[in-house]
Every structure is written in C-alpha cells, then in structure tokens.
Structure 1
Amino acid sequence: MAITIKDIAKRANVSTATVSRVINGIGGYGSDTRNRVLAAAQELGYYKNETATSLVTNKTKTIGIIIPNVSTSFYGNIVTGIEDVAYDFGYSVILTHAGVEGNRLFDSLKLMVNRRVDGIIIVSIYLNKEQQQMIRKLGVPTILLSTISEGNRLPYIKVDDYAASYHATQYLVNQGHQKIGLAGVNQNDQVAGQPRLAGYRDCLEKNQILRDEALIFFGDFSFDAGKRAMDYYMTHELPTALVCASDDTALGIISMAHQYKILVPEQLSVIGYDDTSVAWMTTPPLTTIAQPFYEMGALGCKRLIESVTTNQEIRSEIIPFELMERQTVLQRSNNPKS
C-alpha cells in the first residue's frame, strides 16, 4: 500500500498541511518540525511523486547542464559544484554535450525543452546573437559559466582571462625570464583564447620585452597541442619559459620535454592555467593559474535556482583567480622586475 502524507502526519504528529509544506520546501515551519517530518517520511519509505508535482506547479525541479566536447579536463569540478548545490535545494540535473565549440547546441536545447528543465547552465560555449535569440525564445532562466555571449547579453560567471594571463606572464618576468613563449592558445576563441593572448602580449610590452611572435604556438588548449608546441620549439627556438593555455597543454609540453631530455624547470620553466587535479599529480608539480571551478559551478547553480524561484534577474560576476606556485618555474634572477 502506498504511503501518503496522512501517514507521515500521523507518525510525526503534525498536520497534513505541514507535511505538504515540508516535502515541497515551501517554508513556514521550524527546523525541529522539518526534521521530524523528514525522519517519519524516511521511516515509512515515502517517495515524493515528482511527475505529479510538476504537473501541478509547472516545475520539474530539474536543471540542464550543457557542455562542449573538448579534450580538456576541467569540467568535472564545475559539474560537481552544480550537482552539490542542486541536491541541497532538492533539484536534479541533466547533462548533455553540445559537440566541439557547441555545434550541436540546438539539439542540446531541444532536449532540455523536452525534459521541461526549470533552468539551464551552459559551460564554455561562446554564444552568438542567433543562439542567444534561440535561448530567449525558450523563456527558461539561463546562466553561462566560464564563457560569455556576443554583446554580453546573457549573465555569466567567469574569471578575467586577460588579467590571469597577464599575471602569469608577469610572474615569469619577475623570476628573471625575458624569452617567454605562449603555447596552445586558440586565437579564434573569443572567450579565453583572445583575452589570454592579449594579456600575454600586453605584459611583455609593459615590461619592455621585445615581442617575438615566433615564440607563440597556437592550438586548442589540449594535451596534444602541448606536444605539438614542444616539437615546434625544438625545431625553431626554445624559450626559457612558457605560458600555457591550459594545464593539459602544459602537461603535453612537459611530456615532450622529457622525451627531448629538456629539464623542467632547469632548462624550461612552465606555467599552466586552470589548476585541474592533474596539476599537482605531474612530476614536477605544475605551477599554474587556478580557476575556482567547483565554486564557479556551485555559485552558478545557486544564482540560477534563485532566479527560478523568485524570478529575479541574474547578474554577471567576475570571480578571482589564484597563482599556485609549485615546482615548474625556475627563478633566473635575484633581482626580479616588479
């Protein structure tokens, strides 16, 4: 026999209205009452019928996450942050891949519509005007993580990629490096590639270091891009230090440096970008720019749920990065530049 809220009310010694409010998260009760009702529901083996609830409230308590298919490894912490907050608020999540650079975004959005999600989180996909119009027509609250939209018309949460790249380059300058390269960045990527390229170039100019475009090797932020970059430098000119577009690219550099018998950091200093778990697993541990991916996912999910439940507008936010000093950068001077 199915357990009902009447059974829970009797067990918890409260009214059925109170049980309904607790189960649906409406509020208007104390923490002791909430704990008593939830304990009774668990003891009786009660499971809330989400389908029936969604028909009445027009809410499914489901959040859709859309990420691209790429060969980098930082998405795990973002998704974990989203899932943890969603769970705390009683939401479930649906995750879908939109292909390389989001070329299957339309199919992903169609899936979200069919599943009647209450809100959408899009990660690392740059959205043009046409794609933004498509999202607005859905009428579903949407937030972007680690990306932006054309004209910044959709709310986002991300770090300042220009400032982070500038800071990474300045760190190498401060360690006495003058021959600094940039590896693995996608110059056509408006979200991360172009700002990181500009930060690197501007930092060299500000420090009056002659910019050598031959020290830039473009790529797609991947491990293979790092390997290809190292092959390139070995046949052209090897810098004393490299700013890498991602931790994966940095690991590709370090892997090939080992094959070429180039010592890191004694002969080549390397700084990554992201601070994924692989950064401290490599040998030597990678100095890198840390993006707070878990916090980004958690904050994005919280802001989205606030918008779903209160209809308030989501505001864009820039969150801080951090330089993680480990063992892949060599100080070449006792009198670093400031």
Structure 2
Amino acid sequence: MSYTIKDIARITNVSTATVSRVINGQGGYSKATEEKVLHAIEELGYRPNAFARGLISKKSDTVGLLFPEVSSQFSSKILRGVEDAAHLLDSSVIVCNTASHGQRTMKYLQLLAEKRVDGILFVSEVMTEEYYRKLESMKIPVVLISTESYQYPLPFVKVDDRHAAFTATDYLLKMGHRKIGMISGNKEDAIAGQPRIDGFIQAMNNKGLTVQDANIVYSHGFSFHDGLIGLPKLLAQAPDITAVFAASDAVALGAISAAYKLGIKVPEDLSIIGFDDLPMAEMSIPPLTTVAQPLEEMGRVAAELLFSMMKDGGKTESRIIPHYVAERESVKKIL
C-alpha cells in the first residue's frame, strides 16, 4: 500500500502542513512532534513524492547533463565524475544525448525546463545563440565542460587545448623527432580543432622547424575512421615523417590500424601520440602514449561549480584543468 502525507497527519494527529515542515526540515514544531512524525514515516515506509517536494522547496534536486555522444568513453568518464559529485549532495542526473544536432538539443533543453532541473552541464559542443537564449530563459546556472564560449558569459571547465597540443608535440621533439606530421580534427572547430593545430605549429616553430601544409591532414572529426583514412593521406603528402600527433585517441588508434595494414610498425617505423587518454589507449597494441585530459576530474569539478552556483545564486570562475603526458609504448626515442 502507498501512503500519503495525509495518512501521516491522520496517524500522528497533526496537520498536513506540520508533516510537510518536518519532512522539509523547516521548523515550527516541537521535538516531540518531530519524533512522532518521523516514527510514523519510518513505520509506514512513506517516501515523499519528489515532484510535490520540489513544488514546496522550488528545487528538484536534479541537474541536466547534455552530451553530443553519450556512449563514448569520453562521455562516460565525464559522467562518472559528475555523478560522484551529485551523489554526495543527494542529487540526480538526467543524461541527454544530443548527437550534436541542434533541433534535438533544443528538444532536450525544453524537456529539462519542464522537469525543473536546478542546473545544466553542457559538454563538448559549441554554444549557439539559440541554445544560449533558451538557457537564459530557464534562469538556472549553467557550466560548460570541455568547451567554452567567447561570445556568452558562461563558466567552463576544460584543459587548454592549444597548450596540451603543444605538450604532445614537444614530447615528440624531446624524443628526438624532427619530421613530424599531424592528423587534426575539424579545423572549423574553434574549441578542439584549430587550437590543437595551433599548438602543434607553435611547438614546431619553437624548435625552429617550419610546418609545411603537407605535414597536416585536416579531418572531418575526431573519430577512428578519421585516423584510418588520415594516415595514408599524411604519408602520401609527407613520406619522410617519423612521428605523428593525432588530435584524439580515436584518431590515433585509427592511424595505428592504418599503419598495420600498410606494414608499418609502431613505434619501430613510426611513432604516434594521441590526445585524451581514454581507457582504450591502454588497450591498444602497442599501448598508446597520449596527452591526458583528466576527464573524471573535469566532470567532478564542473558539477561542484554548478552546485555552488545553485546554492549561492552567484557566478563562478572558469577552471583550466592541468594536462599531462601518459607515457606508454607508441613513441620511440631516436638519436
């Protein structure tokens, strides 16, 4: 049998308003009344209706999390960090898979508005004017993860993509490589595309090395397929390279697969470094050396910032999370 707040009030001989105040810890009742109500709740196994409780407190204890691809290892690690932070604060997370589709994203934002979520975490997509206007109308805190907006004043949590790409390239240079190519993501991507290309070029220039157009293959995205087709293109354009910086781990693994099909040994014949440090980086053959984004930490920090904004009603500072090189076996040191 499902009991209601009226049942608790009847059994304890107090008003429903008093039961509600006890449930929500609002005070205005004696210790004896509190103990009587809590005892009845325990005896009956009563569970307050979340929606009804939200109408009273003006909170749903729920946040929305929007991913462009929810099934990826990238997303799962961020989700783990977000859920760890949410769990500690007794909050729930509604996960939305937008597929990087504008209409679908708007549909989910409307759904989250109807669910009265207390805040939103927006992952790895460009913040458009349409998205921003909808978020503004919701009047709730928003934090970006692994993306940022130059146009709109939204706090973000991410690594410095340009600096991380510089670090990856500089690692190859320190391992003795001078003839280095890059398989980039989409250069039109202002968050992870062009900044990683710029970091690659900056590291090369820092050593007095000029990057020719032939040394970069521009991909459509950051997928395994982009690396699979990108490496043969790169080798055709720059056949004397000894190392490759791939703009993501998926691209790097695609490049390793392409190298295998071409009879090229990694790292004996060609060194490859990735970007992300996803779980699959450790599973590849050889295990992939990569510049690591601490994705779980990014998710946790972003959620903590969001909950702080929800509690205090104010703004917060963006956070740049430190990156590092996860050194494994896909890069060879040359003399």
Q: What band does the TM-score fall into relative to the shorter chain?
A: 0.7 to 0.9
* Separation in structure 2 between the aligned mates of residue 163 and residue 55 of structure 1, nearest angstrom: 46
CA contact (8 A) 2:5 2:20 kept: no
Counterpart in 2 of 1:240?
242
In 2 relative to 1, CA 231–20 (structure 1 residues): closer, same or farther, beyond 3 Å? Answer: farther
Measure how far apart 1:151 and its partner are: 2.7
Measure how far apart 1:45 and its partner are: 3.7
- Map residues 185-204 of structure 1 onto 2, 5 A cutoff: 185-204=185-204
Counterpart in 2 of 1:223?
224
- Map residues 134-149 of structure 1 onto 2, 5 A cutoff: 134-149=134-149
In 2 relative to 1, CA 271–52 (structure 1 residues): closer, same or farther, beyond 3 Å? Answer: same
* Separation in structure 1 between the aligned mates of residue 267 and residue 157 of structure 2, nearest angstrom: 34
Counterpart in 1 of 2:323?
321
* Separation in structure 1 between the aligned mates of residue 235 and residue 329 of structure 2, nearest angstrom: 22
CA contact (8 A) 2:214 2:234 kept: no
Counterpart in 2 of 1:169?
169
Structure 2 counterpart of 1:278, from 280, 292, 301: 280
* Separation in structure 2 between the aligned mates of residue 292 and residue 278 of structure 1, nearest angstrom: 15
CA contact (8 A) 2:289 2:325 kept: yes
Instruction: Determine if the alignment matches structure 1 residue 107 to structure 2 residue 101.
Output: no
- Map residues 1-338 of structure 1 onto 2, 5 A cutoff: 2=3, 24=24, 45-69=45-69, 73-100=73-100, 102=102, 104-151=104-151, 153-219=153-219, 220-238=221-239, 239-333=241-335
Unaligned runs of 5+ in 2: 9-16, 28-36
In 2 relative to 1, CA 247–173 (structure 1 residues): closer, same or farther, beyond 3 Å? Answer: same
* Separation in structure 1 between the aligned mates of residue 310 and residue 249 of structure 2, nearest angstrom: 35
* Separation in structure 1 between the aligned mates of residue 255 and residue 238 of structure 2, nearest angstrom: 14
Counterpart in 2 of 1:336?
none
* Separation in structure 1 between the aligned mates of residue 233 and residue 118 of structure 2, nearest angstrom: 48
Measure how far apart 1:174 and its partner are: 0.7
In 2 relative to 1, CA 209–47 (structure 1 residues): closer, same or farther, beyond 3 Å? Answer: same
In 2 relative to 1, CA 71–117 (structure 1 residues): closer, same or farther, beyond 3 Å? Answer: closer
* Separation in structure 2 between the aligned mates of residue 70 and residue 92 of structure 1, nearest angstrom: 17
How high is the sequence identity, in percent, across the aligned residues? 38
CA contact (8 A) 1:102 1:125 kept: no
Name the SS of the counterpart of 2:65 in structure 1: strand
Q: 1:318-337, CA deviations, whole angstroms, 9 ceiling, x for partnerless residues?
A: 1101111100001112xxxx
Give 2:232's aligned amino acid: D
Name the SS of the counterpart of 2:73 in structure 1: coil
Measure how far apart 1:17 and its partner are: 8.6
CA contact (8 A) 2:70 2:96 kept: no
Mean Cα deviation higher: 95-104 or 214-223: 95-104
* Separation in structure 2 between the aligned mates of residue 173 and residue 215 of structure 1, nearest angstrom: 15
CA contact (8 A) 1:128 1:150 kept: no
Give 1:66's aligned amino acid: L
Measure how far apart 1:87 and its partner are: 1.7
In 2 relative to 1, CA 201–131 (structure 1 residues): closer, same or farther, beyond 3 Å? Answer: same
CA contact (8 A) 2:228 2:251 kept: yes
Give 2:326's aligned amino acid: M
Aligned length: 316
Mean Cα deviation higher: 104-113 or 279-288: 104-113
In 2 relative to 1, CA 103–173 (structure 1 residues): closer, same or farther, beyond 3 Å? Answer: farther
Mean Cα deviation higher: 84-93 or 266-275: 84-93
Name the SS of the counterpart of 1:273 in structure 2: strand
In 2 relative to 1, CA 132–231 (structure 1 residues): closer, same or farther, beyond 3 Å? Answer: same
* Separation in structure 1 between the aligned mates of residue 144 and residue 331 of structure 2, nearest angstrom: 33
Q: 1:284-311, CA deviations, whole angstroms, 9 ceiling, x for partnerless residues?
A: 1100011111111111111111111221
